[in-house]
Structure 1
């Protein structure tokens, strides 16, 4: 597959794999915990495997397992999963300006593979919006690495659940592995304010039903970050972090889907117009 990619896309794809590699341990741990939890719940092995592949969202998968055990109505289960996954609406809105030129079906596929760590790693690159050579390939490098590590660990947890004691603390290990990645993303005061407010709100709303505390914390983080940006812009406008300049395009620019590649003037041929005079 890599041989069929252009040099730009091949390098970007491998760069995406390298970028997400530090998060593989955390992803693997969370996937293993989720697989074990599904295998030890009321789900059958085929049902657990199907949920791992179709849902691909550990927080919502863990949130609905007690509801399955309690035999609650399906609308309650769907509402809980929707509340937990509401943050993906924000992630998708952040990706929309970058991939709006793609057809609908490709954007839907990108949405399925999107995730917390993937969006964090992608956003840290500060890509310019619109078409950019290698940008989609970089996203796919992140997505393939995350999805593969998650599915391998989740399926291993489902099939080998009886070999893992409940007191191993794998869920805590996954959380601890994610902390350095989260801390490394705190690069501005507004981001620090968003993380601090989200942490406080998440703790205060931890016991709310349907895991609704998670979307509340996300909305609180957005509000805190926006307010912090507005205050900093008013008090000290020179301290507002400016976005990076777009990376220089390669010499042979690739055209977005549906457009032809730009042609260059032929400088090797002599200018006959001057000699004709």
Structure 2
């Protein structure tokens, strides 16, 4: 497969691997936590392994495990998973201009392998939209690193759950490792406002059913960021007009 790729694609693939590598510890930790949680839930071993491979979405997997244990209706479980994964609609919309030229099956494949950190790092590269040599290969470099790390750690957690004490705090460790990357993404005023609003909303709505706090935080963050962008643009326009008037 590597021999079929151009030199540009090979370099981009390796760059994707390198750019994603600082997050591997956090992804491994989250995968381990999710695997342990699935193993200690009502799922059988084949069900847990199947869920890890087919779903590949740690937040929604952790969200629905208590619902399985409570034997709630399937629509409740599906609704909760959908609410948790609402953010992927935003991610898909963000990637669409970059890969719209690809056939449907390849776009669906990209959607399966996409994730929070992959999307963040991809957007930080500021690729032009449309086809560009190496762009898809860069995405796949990150995707392969993420998927492999997640599945390996998740399977380890599923098979060896009894060896990991609950007081190790692996979930917190994974979150702490990701924080510097998240903070580094706050580079504009609108992003800072969106993050702040999302944090407040998620805390206020934490106890809502079906994990509604997450989609509410996403929606309010988008609205807050858009409003802030509009305000900043208007302020910049006023300053430009004022300078033009002063120069006269």
TM range (shorter): over 0.9
Correspondence for 1:12: 12
How far 1:4 sits from its partner (Å)? 2.4
Give CA deviations for 1:67-102 in whole Å, capped at 9, x if unaligned: 000001111101110010011000000000000000
Correspondence for 1:85: 85
How far 1:187 sits from its partner (Å)? 0.7
Alignment of 1:101-250 (within 5 A): 101-237=101-237
- Give the length in aligned residue pairs: 239
Give CA deviations for 1:200-234 in whole Å, capped at 9, x if unaligned: 11111111111110010001110111011000001
Distance, in Å, in 1 between the alignment partners of 2:48 and 2:92 is 26
Correspondence for 1:94: 94
Distance, in Å, in 1 between the alignment partners of 2:10 and 2:149 is 21
How far 1:238 sits from its partner (Å)? 9.3
Correspondence for 2:33: 33
How far 1:2 sits from its partner (Å)? 2.2
Distance, in Å, in 2 between the alignment partners of 1:12 and 1:238 is 42
Of structures 1 and 2, the larger Rg is shown by 1
Indicate the SS of the match to 1:236: helix
Correspondence for 2:244: none
Correspondence for 1:56: 56
Change in Cα spacing, 1:33 to 1:237, as seen in structure 2 (3 Å) is farther
- Would you tell me which structure has more helix in proportion to its own residues? 2
Change in Cα spacing, 1:66 to 1:6, as seen in structure 2 (3 Å) is same
Distance, in Å, in 2 between the alignment partners of 1:220 and 1:175 is 22
Give CA deviations for 1:40-63 in whole Å, capped at 9, x if unaligned: 000011100000000000000000
Unaligned runs of 5+ in 2: 240-248
Distance, in Å, in 2 between the alignment partners of 1:91 and 1:190 is 18
The CA RMSD over aligned residues, in Å, is 1.1
Distance, in Å, in 2 between the alignment partners of 1:146 and 1:155 is 14
Moved over 3 A (4+): none
Unaligned runs of 5+ in 1: 240-277
Change in Cα spacing, 1:238 to 1:93, as seen in structure 2 (3 Å) is farther
> Under a length normalisation based on structure 2, what TM-score does the superposition of the two structures give?
0.95
Distance, in Å, in 1 between the alignment partners of 2:11 and 2:136 is 12
Distance, in Å, in 1 between the alignment partners of 2:2 and 2:184 is 30
Give CA deviations for 1:230-258 in whole Å, capped at 9, x if unaligned: 0000112499xxxxxxxxxxxxxxxxxxx
How far 1:5 sits from its partner (Å)? 1.0
How far 1:3 sits from its partner (Å)? 2.7
Distance, in Å, in 2 between the alignment partners of 1:237 and 1:51 is 51
Correspondence for 2:246: none
Distance, in Å, in 1 between the alignment partners of 2:60 and 2:175 is 16
Distance, in Å, in 2 between the alignment partners of 1:200 and 1:13 is 38
- RCO greater where, 1 or 2, for CA within 8 Å and sep 6 or more? 2
Distance, in Å, in 2 between the alignment partners of 1:61 and 1:51 is 8
